[in-house]
Structure 1
Amino acid sequence: MSYITTKNSYITVNGNQIAYREVGKGKSDLPLVMLVHLAATLDNWDPKLLDLISEKHHVIVLDLPGVGASEGKVADTIPGMAVQTIEIIRALGYDKINLLGLSMGGMIAQEIIRANNQLVHRLILAGTAPRGGMEVDKVTGKTFKFMIKAAIKKVDPKRYIFYNHDEEGGREAEKVLNRMGERSKAFTDKEMNVPGFLTQLKAIKRWGKSEKDDLQYITQPTLIVNGDHDMQVPTVNSYHMNDKITDSSVIIYPNAGHGSIFQYAEVFSQELINFLGE
């Protein structure tokens, strides 16, 4: 089944209905749990990327509490979001997973491992940064700046947050956004609410202003991925994480920004499948 026609499933966690989707069930021994970026719901995953990954792996994507169709409140800290994620994973019946985090999702992924190192077998950090990383505390200002630019141009804010601002970046953004737009209303998630979005921004800023992290607690094999021109979370953070995480490797895609894993869906999906199969 294609991700574009996969409906929400629900599980009750701490009295709240939590929305999730899964594809490729039975394709791998461990599920790959994927955590999405700021202000995103289940509809903001590139369906092409998820279809490619799910050819070989069982994939689970989540709406954390207060996000999309999930009940509850958005946690006001990144570690709090990590605790919520662990509770959902446990409720789904898993005590071992592979874990991918994109942008804010990558920040949450790091805190998941800090809280429970034994839960994650292999880790993928995409378009993200360590706690206290370069310009993480500036994400709020950048987000609003790009949103204003998008409003003036009458385009989706992801056009400028995730892709280069030149003509080539525009073409790449259009490809991905068109793929996401193929989902019919019968299969859509609820949109992100404004209070939850603002709470996420505050959590990221607080995490960015916190003490710099040495990442020595991450002992899992780790794949770090980004574009060579990430304006939202500067690419240099990917190199810093690679230096600090002992068992890690880094892939930097050319002429790409914050959304490199969507822009390079075919190449990245193969790199990811190879990494998980090692």
Structure 2
Amino acid sequence: MTSHTHDAAPTQFVEANGIRFAYRRFGKQGGVPLVFNIHFMGTMDYWDPAVTDGFARDREVILFDNAGLLSSSGEVPESIAGMGANAMAFIRALGLSQVDVLGFSIGGLVAQEITLQAPDLVRQVVLVGTGPRSGESMDTGTPEGRDIFGATYANPDDLWLRVQFTPSAASQAAGREFVKRFRRRTENRDPEVSQQAALAQRAAIAKWGAKREHAWDYLKEIRQPTLVVNGSNDVIITTINSFILQQHLPNAKLILYPDSAHGSLYQYPAMFVSDVSAFLDQSQWA
């Protein structure tokens, strides 16, 4: 049976590594849960209900705030490895022995680290709008990204319309529908990410993106079936980084959605849920 939905799932807490993690768990119980790792400056409430509830029809969904973010205690580590270690501790604290992990943007970096640090824990990986260590513009950020995040907005949600969607009329229309959906939950909603936490996340991303020799060799260690997803024109973590991931991961598939940007999963939620579900359910991946 499916219990709760994105908008109504209660916030629960579990302790690990001296951190009190806030999380929400809902959907069809039994089977391997899907653990979501959110983007830069995001919270549990920044996921699209059309995506999370879409998955919850057939599998259990777990959303959480990593250490130092909002309803969770502790501090945000200034390294992706530290974030991955905290996420791994959170998953194990729930008593889970195997999960599928989905990571979006910085969450995709964390998902890679979870898989590297605890390969026995991760069955399959979904990487959305993200990239490898030392990827294209991963150290400095893109000029477009610096402009978008450096601008001032009369309506704060207009930031996310520029981050997640292309300037086209169709993409912006999809963006406005997404904003309505992700603001729908009003009770027990997380506050916004603090400036201190955002700065720590930026520092971690810069370290991850620093140029190094043989930068992509580590990807050979991620042998789990992996689905890489992005928009055709991601200007936050450039789309070429998704291609790099697919080319260097031993067992990866790549999907690019048309006329879409960093938030392709929010522009095409039904298609995204269908594509990811088909990937996770393929018998040859089991």
Which bracket does the TM-score occupy, shorter chain normalised?
A: over 0.9
Match of 1:34 among 23, 36, 39: 36
Matches within 5 A, 1:37-186: 37-139=39-141, 142-149=144-151, 151=153, 155-184=157-186, 186=187
Unaligned ranges ≥5, structure 2: none
What's the CA shift for 1:16? 2.6
Partner AA of 1:23 in structure 2:
F
CA shift, 1:115, in A, is: 1.3
Equivalent residues of 1:97, 1:121 under 8 A apart: yes
Unaligned runs of at least 5 residues, structure 1? none
Deviates more, 1:78-87 or 1:130-139: 130-139
Question: 2: CA distance between counterparts of 1:189 and 1:229?
Answer: 30
CA distance in 1, matches of 2:281, 2:171: 32
What amino acid sits opposite 1:253 in the alignment? Y
Q: Deviations over 1:44-70 (max 9, x none)?
A: 000111000010010101100110200
State the secondary structure of the residue aligned to 2:174: helix
Give, in angstroms, the shift of residue 269 of structure 1: 0.3
Distance 1:173 1:242 in 2: 27
Moved more, 260-269 or 187-196: 187-196
Partner residue in 1 for 2:14 = 11
Q: How many residues align?
A: 276
TM-score by length of 2: 0.92
Deviations 1:92-128 (A, max 9, x none): 1112111111010101111112212111101101000
Poorly superposed stretches of 4+, deviation over 2 Å: 138-144, 147-150, 152-156, 165-169
Q: After TM superposition, give the deviation of residue 159 of structure 1 in Å.
A: 1.0
CA distance in 2, matches of 1:270, 1:18: 30
Aligned to 1:138, the other structure's residue is in SS state coil
Comparing 133-142 with 217-226, greater Cα deviation is found at: 133-142
What TM-score, normalized by structure 1, do the two folds share? Answer: 0.94
1:190: Cα distance to partner?
A: 2.6
Return closer, same or farther for 1:272/1:150 CA change in 2, 3 Å cut-off: farther
Aligned in 2, Cα 1:5/1:153: closer, same or farther, shift over 3 Å?
Answer: closer
CA distance in 2, matches of 1:14, 1:118: 19
Deviation at 1:141, TM superposition (A): 6.2
Q: Quote the Cα distance in structure 2 between the aligned partners of 1:10 and 1:25.
A: 20
Aligned-pair CA distance for 1:173: 1.1
1:153-191 CA deviation, whole Å, 9 max, x = no partner? 76431111111123333212101011111111x231132
Q: CA RMSD in A?
A: 1.6
